[in-house]
Amino acid sequence: MAAFEPVLLRPQELSLSEKLSLLNWPFVLLVVPAFGIIGYLVLYSAAGGAHEPWAWRHALRFALGYAVMLGVAFVDIRFWHRWAHVFYGLVIVLLLAVDIVGSINKGAQRWLAFGPFQLQPSELAKLALVLMLARFYHGLRLEDVGRPIHLIVPLALIGLPAALTVAQPDLGTGVLIVALGGGLMFLAGVRIWKFVLAGGLLAAAVPLVWTRLHDYQRERVLTFLDPERDPLGAGYHIIQSKIALGAGGLAGRGFLHGTQAQLDFLPEKQTDFAFTLLAEETGFVGAATVLTLCLMVAFVALRISLRATSDFGRLVAMGVGLNFSIHAVVNIAMVTGLVPVVGVPLPLISYGGTAMLTTLFGFGLMLSADIHRALRVPRHPGEL
């Protein structure tokens, strides 16, 4: 089927053979596994050439997430439309539970422990927000999208998980939730002047926000502006990251031969600075390869959204692509010193269970929107 060929809407379920024929096989068999392989090699190198403690867990989680992605992809997109509000509500409950019984790690209370497993609800909040905003805007006519009365609900949907996340405290993830929600509102048709106005109000509130920041958050901003002010303390991370990036050159120092990473000068090399390790050992070639894969994900999301026959499917695909792109851009900008260090992982490459499963779950939603694009998604509950 051509990318923009008109689709005949149908009410009935698709057969398994039809779903298999509509699955984006290049994305499923090439793009996604490429991220998994690169992530495994990066974490293998981060451990000094050992499968323990990160690489094998990464592989196991990726295999589980890959199965989840395929399972979600074959679920009728109308199911996700019907239950979006329930999923959103469950995530809000989990965010509230973090404040009560959450696990504390490095001074932050962001995880829920279930035996040996830990769950970070703020990661799930991003997908819940995508589904909920897509459901809300799917029920509106385009001319109603920008009306002031119809801004209240989406702003509340964005503000609630963002506020609960900032309270953990996790300012970086809270800002990403706001950015994701704002981006979806724009893609849904909200006029740009409203965002300019909101930006002006936020700029005016900067002095007040500054006084409310934790000491470590203010230190991150000051270090971003001048890393050399504390080269052995707050500025150490970004200085070592820049040294490693520069040392990589065109082709890199070679696998397992990155001095900054292997001699432990580079901190958090398995999580926040995984891209730096990769760039030091594989150089510009390896870094450009990862950037190309990220662009391919964005292209697939855009193509699926353009082929969608419903606003819900269109916004789900755009939301998943936007969420992935924001994380990739912020992480790479962070390790290159373009934005403050905020603890955002590189999707599918950095070590982290909830982040990986959430990313692959999102890919499943995106693929579901593509597979089931011929199905009519009702605009209101009870509509046939």
Q: What is the pLDDT of residue 71?
A: 96
In a domain, 215, yes or no: yes
Domain tally, the chain: 1
- CB-neighbour burial class of residue 234 (10 A; exposed 0-12, middle 13-18, buried 19+): middle
pLDDT digits (tens, 9 = 90+) for 300-359: 999 999 999 899 999 999 999 999 999 999 999 999 988 888 878 999 999 988 899 999
Instruction: Answer whether residue 44 is part of any domain.
Output: yes
pLDDT of amino acid 274: 93
Q: Which structure tokens are listed for 123?
A: 């990661």
Domain-embedded: residue 256: yes
Question: Does residue 1 belong to any structural domain of this protein?
Answer: no
Question: Given this model, what pLDDT does residue 93 score?
Answer: 94
Q: Of how many residues is the chain composed? A: 384
The answer to whether residue 9 sits within a structural domain is: no
Parent domain of 226: 16-371
Burial of 173 (0-12, 13-18, 19+ CB in 10 A): buried
Residue 10: pLDDT band (50, 70, 90) is low
Residue 382 falls within a domain, yes or no? no
State pLDDT tens for residues 238-274: 888 999 999 989 999 999 998 888 888 888 899 989 9
The pLDDT value given to residue 263 = 84
Least confident residue range of 68-72, 154-158, 220-224: 220-224
β-sheet bridge partners, residue 320: none
Q: Are the beta carbons of 312 and 135 closer than 8 angstroms? A: yes
How high is the pLDDT of residue 2? 40
Instruction: Look at the alpha carbons of 324, 327, 331, 337 in this order and tell me if their dihedral is positive or negative.
Output: positive
Average pLDDT, the chain: 87
Q: Please give the pLDDT value at position 4.
A: 45
Quick one: pLDDT at residue 110? 75
- Report yes or no on 8 lying in a domain: no
Q: For position 182, what pLDDT does the model report? A: 94
Whether 381 maps to a domain, the answer reads: no
